[in-house]
Amino acid sequence: MRSVFRSTAVALVLLMAAVAAHAQNPQACQNAQFSAEVLARFPGAPKSCLDVISRDGQQYAVFKAHLESVQGNRIQVRVKNADGTRGERKTIETKPGRKVLIDGKSYPVSDLAPDQEITAYVRVDRPVMALAPAADAEPLDEVPIMGPEQESRPVHLSSADTPVMPHTASPLRLIALTGLSCLGIALLLAANRRRNG
Protein backbone atom coordinates (compact mmCIF):
# COMPACT_ATOMS: atom_id res chain seq x y z
CA MET A 1 0.00 0.00 0.00
CA ARG A 2 2.84 2.39 0.82
CA SER A 3 4.42 1.80 -2.59
CA VAL A 4 1.10 2.73 -4.24
CA PHE A 5 0.92 6.04 -2.41
CA ARG A 6 4.62 6.67 -2.97
CA SER A 7 4.19 6.16 -6.74
CA THR A 8 1.16 8.41 -6.74
CA ALA A 9 3.02 11.10 -4.82
CA VAL A 10 5.92 10.96 -7.30
CA ALA A 11 3.51 11.29 -10.24
CA LEU A 12 1.79 14.29 -8.65
CA VAL A 13 5.11 15.98 -7.83
CA LEU A 14 6.24 15.59 -11.45
CA LEU A 15 2.96 17.00 -12.71
CA MET A 16 3.19 20.00 -10.35
CA ALA A 17 6.79 20.62 -11.42
CA ALA A 18 5.70 20.74 -15.05
CA VAL A 19 2.94 23.21 -14.22
CA ALA A 20 5.37 25.35 -12.22
CA ALA A 21 7.79 25.40 -15.15
CA HIS A 22 5.13 27.14 -17.23
CA ALA A 23 4.11 29.52 -14.46
CA GLN A 24 3.81 33.19 -15.18
CA ASN A 25 4.32 36.23 -13.03
CA PRO A 26 1.50 38.61 -14.02
CA GLN A 27 2.10 40.77 -10.93
CA ALA A 28 5.57 41.72 -12.19
CA CYS A 29 4.07 42.60 -15.58
CA GLN A 30 1.38 44.78 -13.98
CA ASN A 31 4.04 46.65 -12.03
CA ALA A 32 6.28 47.14 -15.09
CA GLN A 33 6.50 50.77 -16.17
CA PHE A 34 6.63 50.45 -19.98
CA SER A 35 7.86 53.67 -21.56
CA ALA A 36 5.63 55.64 -23.91
CA GLU A 37 7.97 54.75 -26.79
CA VAL A 38 7.60 51.02 -26.08
CA LEU A 39 3.81 51.27 -25.88
CA ALA A 40 3.67 53.30 -29.11
CA ARG A 41 5.45 50.55 -31.05
CA PHE A 42 4.14 47.58 -29.05
CA PRO A 43 0.75 48.51 -27.58
CA GLY A 44 -0.02 44.92 -26.60
CA ALA A 45 3.09 44.55 -24.43
CA PRO A 46 1.34 44.74 -21.03
CA LYS A 47 -1.28 42.17 -22.10
CA SER A 48 1.24 39.71 -23.58
CA CYS A 49 3.91 40.02 -20.85
CA LEU A 50 4.57 36.82 -18.86
CA ASP A 51 7.27 38.00 -16.47
CA VAL A 52 9.85 40.72 -15.91
CA ILE A 53 13.53 39.87 -15.46
CA SER A 54 16.67 41.89 -14.84
CA ARG A 55 19.70 41.56 -17.12
CA ASP A 56 22.78 43.75 -17.05
CA GLY A 57 21.00 46.20 -14.78
CA GLN A 58 18.03 46.61 -17.14
CA GLN A 59 14.47 45.36 -16.86
CA TYR A 60 13.09 43.18 -19.66
CA ALA A 61 9.55 41.93 -20.13
CA VAL A 62 9.42 38.25 -21.12
CA PHE A 63 7.22 37.03 -23.96
CA LYS A 64 6.51 33.74 -25.69
CA ALA A 65 6.18 34.04 -29.43
CA HIS A 66 5.03 31.80 -32.28
CA LEU A 67 7.57 31.75 -35.10
CA GLU A 68 5.91 32.60 -38.42
CA SER A 69 8.77 32.99 -40.89
CA VAL A 70 12.55 32.77 -41.09
CA GLN A 71 14.86 34.39 -43.61
CA GLY A 72 18.48 33.97 -42.60
CA ASN A 73 18.84 35.75 -39.26
CA ARG A 74 15.61 37.73 -39.74
CA ILE A 75 12.50 36.19 -38.25
CA GLN A 76 8.90 37.24 -37.85
CA VAL A 77 6.95 36.16 -34.80
CA ARG A 78 3.48 36.67 -33.35
CA VAL A 79 3.65 37.36 -29.63
CA LYS A 80 1.39 35.05 -27.63
CA ASN A 81 -1.13 36.66 -25.29
CA ALA A 82 -1.75 35.34 -21.79
CA ASP A 83 -5.04 33.77 -22.97
CA GLY A 84 -3.27 31.78 -25.70
CA THR A 85 -4.27 33.97 -28.64
CA ARG A 86 -1.62 35.46 -30.91
CA GLY A 87 -1.00 39.16 -30.83
CA GLU A 88 0.97 41.55 -32.94
CA ARG A 89 3.55 40.46 -35.49
CA LYS A 90 7.11 41.50 -34.63
CA THR A 91 10.31 41.26 -36.64
CA ILE A 92 13.61 40.37 -34.98
CA GLU A 93 16.98 40.40 -36.70
CA THR A 94 19.91 38.81 -34.90
CA LYS A 95 23.64 38.70 -35.44
CA PRO A 96 24.90 35.82 -37.61
CA GLY A 97 25.53 32.69 -35.56
CA ARG A 98 23.17 33.69 -32.71
CA LYS A 99 21.77 30.57 -31.04
CA VAL A 100 18.57 30.10 -29.06
CA LEU A 101 17.15 27.30 -26.94
CA ILE A 102 14.26 25.25 -28.34
CA ASP A 103 13.07 22.39 -26.11
CA GLY A 104 16.37 22.45 -24.22
CA LYS A 105 18.59 22.25 -27.33
CA SER A 106 20.65 25.02 -28.89
CA TYR A 107 19.94 26.01 -32.51
CA PRO A 108 21.22 28.84 -34.73
CA VAL A 109 18.46 31.31 -35.52
CA SER A 110 18.94 30.61 -39.23
CA ASP A 111 18.04 26.92 -38.61
CA LEU A 112 14.71 27.68 -36.95
CA ALA A 113 11.47 26.91 -38.74
CA PRO A 114 7.88 28.19 -38.67
CA ASP A 115 5.51 27.00 -35.93
CA GLN A 116 8.18 26.80 -33.25
CA GLU A 117 7.80 28.71 -29.97
CA ILE A 118 10.57 31.00 -28.81
CA THR A 119 11.19 33.36 -25.90
CA ALA A 120 11.76 37.05 -26.54
CA TYR A 121 12.63 39.98 -24.28
CA VAL A 122 11.52 43.61 -24.59
CA ARG A 123 13.25 46.33 -22.63
CA VAL A 124 10.75 48.09 -20.40
CA ASP A 125 12.29 51.55 -20.89
CA ARG A 126 13.31 51.42 -24.57
CA PRO A 127 11.57 50.06 -27.71
CA VAL A 128 14.04 47.25 -28.35
CA MET A 129 13.53 43.49 -28.50
CA ALA A 130 15.91 40.52 -28.29
CA LEU A 131 15.68 36.75 -28.46
CA ALA A 132 16.50 34.84 -25.29
CA PRO A 133 20.01 33.46 -25.95
CA ALA A 134 20.96 29.80 -25.61
CA ALA A 135 23.12 30.58 -22.55
CA ASP A 136 22.43 33.14 -19.82
CA ALA A 137 26.02 34.38 -20.02
CA GLU A 138 25.58 35.52 -23.63
CA PRO A 139 24.72 39.18 -24.18
CA LEU A 140 21.37 40.12 -25.68
CA ASP A 141 21.20 41.25 -29.32
CA GLU A 142 18.78 44.15 -29.07
CA VAL A 143 17.02 45.36 -32.21
CA PRO A 144 14.52 48.23 -32.51
CA ILE A 145 10.86 47.29 -32.37
CA MET A 146 9.17 48.27 -35.61
CA GLY A 147 5.91 50.17 -35.56
CA PRO A 148 2.65 48.56 -36.75
CA GLU A 149 2.92 50.15 -40.21
CA GLN A 150 6.37 48.60 -40.75
CA GLU A 151 5.27 45.21 -39.48
CA SER A 152 2.46 45.02 -42.03
CA ARG A 153 5.02 44.13 -44.71
CA PRO A 154 5.37 40.33 -44.79
CA VAL A 155 8.64 38.46 -45.15
CA HIS A 156 8.60 36.36 -48.33
CA LEU A 157 10.68 33.19 -48.50
CA SER A 158 11.96 31.69 -51.71
CA SER A 159 11.95 27.90 -51.94
CA ALA A 160 15.74 27.93 -51.52
CA ASP A 161 15.38 29.81 -48.23
CA THR A 162 12.84 27.44 -46.71
CA PRO A 163 14.53 25.91 -43.65
CA VAL A 164 14.37 22.29 -42.62
CA MET A 165 12.36 21.80 -39.46
CA PRO A 166 14.57 20.53 -36.63
CA HIS A 167 13.15 17.60 -34.70
CA THR A 168 12.24 19.60 -31.61
CA ALA A 169 8.48 19.98 -31.69
CA SER A 170 7.81 16.73 -29.88
CA PRO A 171 4.75 15.92 -27.77
CA LEU A 172 6.74 13.44 -25.65
CA ARG A 173 6.79 15.65 -22.55
CA LEU A 174 3.01 16.03 -22.63
CA ILE A 175 2.54 12.31 -23.30
CA ALA A 176 4.81 11.45 -20.36
CA LEU A 177 2.91 13.78 -18.03
CA THR A 178 -0.41 12.37 -19.15
CA GLY A 179 0.88 8.83 -18.67
CA LEU A 180 2.15 9.59 -15.18
CA SER A 181 -1.17 11.16 -14.25
CA CYS A 182 -3.09 8.14 -15.54
CA LEU A 183 -0.72 5.79 -13.70
CA GLY A 184 -1.28 7.70 -10.46
CA ILE A 185 -5.06 7.54 -10.87
CA ALA A 186 -4.94 3.83 -11.70
CA LEU A 187 -2.84 3.10 -8.63
CA LEU A 188 -5.24 5.02 -6.41
CA LEU A 189 -8.23 3.16 -7.86
CA ALA A 190 -6.50 -0.21 -7.41
CA ALA A 191 -5.63 0.59 -3.79
CA ASN A 192 -9.19 1.71 -3.13
CA ARG A 193 -10.59 -1.47 -4.69
CA ARG A 194 -8.31 -3.66 -2.54
CA ARG A 195 -9.30 -1.79 0.58
CA ASN A 196 -13.05 -2.10 -0.18
CA GLY A 197 -12.95 -5.58 -1.72
Lowest mean pLDDT among 42-46, 64-68, 71-75, 151-155: 151-155
Name the pLDDT band for 56 (thresholds 50, 70, 90): confident
Of 89 and 159, the structure prediction assigns the larger pLDDT to 89
Residue 21: is its pLDDT beyond 80?
no
DSSP codes of every residue in 56-125: TTEEEEEEEEEEEEEETTEEEEEEEPTTS-EEEEEEEE--TT-EEEETTEEEEGGG--TT-EEEEEEESS
